[in-house]
Amino acid sequence: MTAAGVSIASTASGHGRMRDRWVLAGLLTGPGLYIAIMAIVPAFLMVQLSLAHREVGGLWSPGFELTQYRQLATPLFARIMGFSLLLALTGAAICVSLAFPAAYFITRMRRRAQVAWLVFLLGSLSLSEVLIVFAFQVLLSTSGTLASALNAVGLLAPGASLYPNFPAVLTCLVYLLLPYVILFFYPALSQLDPEMEQAAATMGASRVSTFVKVVLPMMRGQILTGVLLVVIFTFGAYLTPLVLGRPPQWTIAIHINNAAMGAGNLPLAAAYAVAVVAFMVALLALTRILSQRKAVEA
Amino acid sequence: MTLSPRVLLRRGFLALIALFLAAPLIVVISVSFNATRRMSFPPTEFSLRWYRTFFSDYGWMASLERSLTIAGLAALVSVAVALPITYALWRYQAKAAAVLAGVGGALFLIPGVVAALMLSAFWGVTGHVGRLENVVLSHAIVLLGIPLSLLMVGFRTIDQAQVEAAYTMGARDSDAFRMVVRPAMTPYILCAFVFVFVLSINEYLIAYMVAGFTVQTLPIRIFANMRQGYEPTMCVAAVIFMVMGFSAFALMSKVADLPRLMGRTRPLED
Amino acid sequence: MFGLELRDLTKAYGDQLAADQVSLSIPHGAFVCFLGPSGCGKTTVLRMIAGLETPTSGSILLNGKEITDQPANARRFGMVFQSLALFPHLSVGENIAFALRLRGEDPRRRKERVDELLELVRLPGLQSRAISQLSGGQRQRVAIARALAQEPPVFLLDEPFSALDAKLREEMQNELRTLQQRLKITTILVTHDQREAMTMADTIVVMGEGQIQQHGPPVDIYRRPVNRFVADFIGASNLLAVEVLDGHTVRYGAIPLRVAAACGPGGAAATLAIRPEDIILSRTAGGGANEVAGVISLVRDMGAYVEYRIDCQGQDILGVSTPRDWIGAAVGEIAHIRLPVESCQVLGR
């Protein structure tokens, strides 16, 4: 957003500026309306819905009551949120500690190898959660290879299943998120000036200490944002805990969906959703504070 | 030249990551070629039986066609919305465009299930339920962040001086766009389209919550089948997804500079 | 031998030779500038000295000891990078103390050393500043202080001043030279700016096409270039195509010219190089040796000196005259130039 950019846009004459305004109006009216109707209106609607009065048969009438929000103060909701957060943070720890070095190595490859990795990562990232969950079901099924192999070495009782349980949910989530997180780290790590690391080497730093003392601290903000990304995704994940987990491993997403589609209590679902978004915004603020503390701008 | 332990360690680590990411896919692919109805791995006998069943089944074909239509339209809409916003941002540094781009980006902060709920409530209120266009417009808005960021990367590669040079040679805004901007942007537009297309075709939850009962997309159908028990044709559907996804991105790597598209600006030697 | 020695240092990228059998002895405490056009291999040689690049063949010796296979972090040659490569997540003081922290020096000693170095680069009291708060010249000084903190046996700089404006660049050049003389540290600087090399170096190493073309004191390089490449790259030179007649005479067109020493057998084609400021211009023919008549084709009065071109037998010869000696000729006039024997260098083709 340089001043130079502005100066070419508007030739100093008032006529030119007037024309620019018309051009901008022409460009932005359509997209603006679309975003307003499809993003802003639904967001307001959801807040309104969370305050509405629930009627029988899945209906609701406009109102202003905190009935649904009171449900958020129950131990049940706290337990669900607590579990969702535990799952998200465990997943984040695993994802980030695998994805960061992986992305670091990939950014240092030659072009052909990098492109191959990117295609592979994008391809696996785009695969439907339905598909991955299904594949995991096949992989973990009683008759599957993994189970038979574990049976053979005596690690698993015959006929026992590898899911539904917590590790299955966690593994599948890590699987879903790993390509995302690697690709998220990719730009920042590929931007990292190799001269930074070389400078550390000329001052006597080994590869490991360069990584720990130079690369990691420089990427602190990125890492925190990566964690946030995993948390957001985990809170939104629906199929994975549903298929690969038992009810105690159900995340907030399943409860929102059940309230909306199953119990027909849209106001409760909306209240849950508002709480989740508020929680995300708070987390975002927290990562901002953490990554800015002791950062460049003193 | 022998490999140092460090190189071996690095390669081993990356190989394990690749194996982890490939394993479920390999299992599904091999099961899809299995002759028996039972799900067994490794497959006992090679057969294309389930592929024939899949492609001759009216229900599967209808879902496939529906998914392709939705994905194509959603990609079209979201690119068509993102292009003027990013252009206005790049060319005029317009505040309004920055706000719109900000809203598009903020949608990324919203967990999938919340977006799905918001949109299903929206369509419920409008009384316009269970329609294909609901899914199209919902996918286009939720995935808007992707064309926004990819097109911004694209615009950033065009030097403003090129446009200025065109003006000094008598080009009007529209000429400059046609002769300088569009040629440079074509690969990025294409990539944004492909990216949204692939993600839309794979999306389950939003499609299900805004129109799931009447508009059965491929993922919805797979999931419905999954609940009823194993069916080998599901593996075939899964393989079709993989082929579409991987070939789309492989194609993308041919038309565009993929590392740059994914955010690398530092030059990369061959 | 005390100092740094390069023996047949070669670096190949595929079939491209970035450095081709580079051999050089750098005595302890010398200031050496590697000078050459971009892509001549100078940075590759510097990076091999630092240990950041592995030579394809050849060796590097420090004080007589072979260090070719030592990695950069074992050599600990302080280096200032073109991008400076200051760590943005660390303060000025932490950047400077980086090497000391790695070496496990205690905090008190580290602080002392940081203060001392900031004093040295004339930035006292700035240790707790963030890098982003510094100006270009200040960053430069911090980068220099950081590289010197570990008291490196060799101090390397890769085009460190290329991003600075002309005035600041000159200031930094003088400062660096003074600092180097005070510390008596062996210093190697890579640059493509010949002014920079001329003002700072004890020895200039001119590189071209991966090879050392010539090395020696700056004045030698300027006055006695050994080949066409050096004569052409350093300063302005007139390069005239001539034919060797005998050991002391060449023929330029039809005119025989006496030279200090001609190389090659009679009849061989050669190049005569002469600096513009060595040419003597007059209105009238003096009748002496080495005189050529021509038509003035360009005159530019630059204030401090007058530049002119004179068309002699179809070749433009560039000359420079002091304002006091300027004969006041105008474009189109016929004039005579004399090429003093001792200024005529004959170079092989």
Which residues in chain A touch residue C52, judged by CB atoms under 8 angstroms apart? 198, 201-202
Q: Is C284 on the interface with A (CB under 8 A)?
A: no
Chains contacting chain C through 3 or more C-beta pairs under 8 A: A
Instruction: Dump pLDDT digits (tens) for B154-184.
Output: 888 887 777 766 666 667 777 777 777 888 8
pLDDT score, position C58: 93
For residue C221, what is the enclosing H or E element?
helix C218-223
Choose the mutation target among C52, C67, C73, C140 for the interface with A, i.e. most A CBs under 10 Å.
Answer: C73
**Which pLDDT band, with edges at 50, 70 and 90, does A9 fall under?**
very low
CA neighbor of C151 nearest in space, from C109, C203, C197, C89: C109
Could you give all domains of chain B from N- to C-terminal order, each with its CATH number? 26-35+42-261 (1.10.3720.10)
At a CB cut-off of 8 Å and minimum separation 6, what does C191 contact? C33, C34, C35, C159, C161, C162, C197
Q: Check whether B204 has a pLDDT greater than 70.
A: yes
How far does the CA of residue B152 sit from the closest CA of chain A (Å)?
A: 13
Task: Give dist(CA B85, CA C218) in Å, integer.
Answer: 58
pLDDT, tens digit only, all 349 positions of chain C: 689 999 999 999 888 899 999 999 999 999 999 999 988 999 999 999 998 888 999 999 999 999 998 888 888 898 998 888 888 888 899 889 888 888 888 999 999 999 999 998 889 999 899 888 899 889 999 999 999 998 899 999 999 888 888 888 898 899 999 999 999 999 999 999 988 999 899 999 999 999 999 999 999 999 888 888 998 888 888 888 888 888 788 888 888 888 877 666 777 888 888 999 999 888 888 777 788 888 999 999 988 899 999 988 778 889 888 888 888 888 888 889 988 888 888 886 5
How far does the CA of residue C339 sit from the closest CA of chain A (Å)?
A: 49
Task: Give dist(CA B245, CA C222) in Å, integer.
Answer: 64
pLDDT score, position A67: 78
Tokens 């503390």 belong to residue: A293
How many A×B Cβ pairs under 8 Å? 283
For residues C18 and C11, the answer to whether their CB atoms sit within 8 Å is yes
Fold of A75-191+220-297: MetI-like fold (1.10.3720)
In eight-state DSSP terms, residue C91 is: B
Q: Check whether A7 has a pLDDT greater than 70.
A: no
**Which segment of A178-187, B204-213, B239-248, C112-121 scores lowest on mean pLDDT?**
B204-213
Instruction: Dump pLDDT digits (tens) for A66-82.
Output: 777 888 888 888 898 99
Helices B58-92, B232-255: inter-axial angle, 10-degree rounding: 30
For residues A10 and A17, the answer to whether their CB atoms sit within 8 Å is yes
Contact B100 A31 (CB under 8 A): yes
Instruction: Dump pLDDT digits (tens) for B147-161.
Output: 998 899 888 888 777
Q: Is C190 on the interface with A (CB under 8 A)?
A: no
Q: Where are the domains of chain A?
A: 75-191+220-297
For residue C3, what is the enclosing H or E element?
strand C3-13
**Which segment of A101-105, B42-46, B202-206 scores lowest on mean pLDDT?**
B42-46
Sheet holding C65-66, edge to edge: C16-27, C3-13, C57-62, C65-66
Which residues in chain B touch residue A191, judged by CB atoms under 8 angstroms apart? 263-266
How far does the CA of residue B230 sit from the closest CA of chain A (Å)?
A: 9
Choose the mutation target among A68, A81, A118, A128 for the interface with B, i.e. most B CBs under 10 Å.
Answer: A128
pLDDT score, position A142: 66
pLDDT score, position B83: 94
**Which segment of A189-193, A226-230, B266-270 scores lowest on mean pLDDT?**
B266-270
**Which segment of A155-164, A198-207, B200-209, C37-46 scores lowest on mean pLDDT?**
A155-164
ipTM of this complex = 0.86
Which residues in chain A touch residue B42, judged by CB atoms under 8 angstroms apart? 145
Choose the mutation target among A110, A192, A197, A203 for the interface with C, i.e. most C CBs under 10 Å.
Answer: A203
What is the pTM for the complete model shown? 0.80
How far does the CA of residue A291 sit from the closest CA of chain C (Å)?
A: 11
Q: Check whether A2 has a pLDDT greater than 50.
A: no
A124 phi and psi angles, rounded to 5 deg: -75, -25
Please give the structure tokens belonging to residue C264: 């090659």
pLDDT score, position A12: 39
Mean pLDDT computed over every residue of chain A = 83
Q: Give the residue with greater pLDDT, A63 vs B64.
A: B64
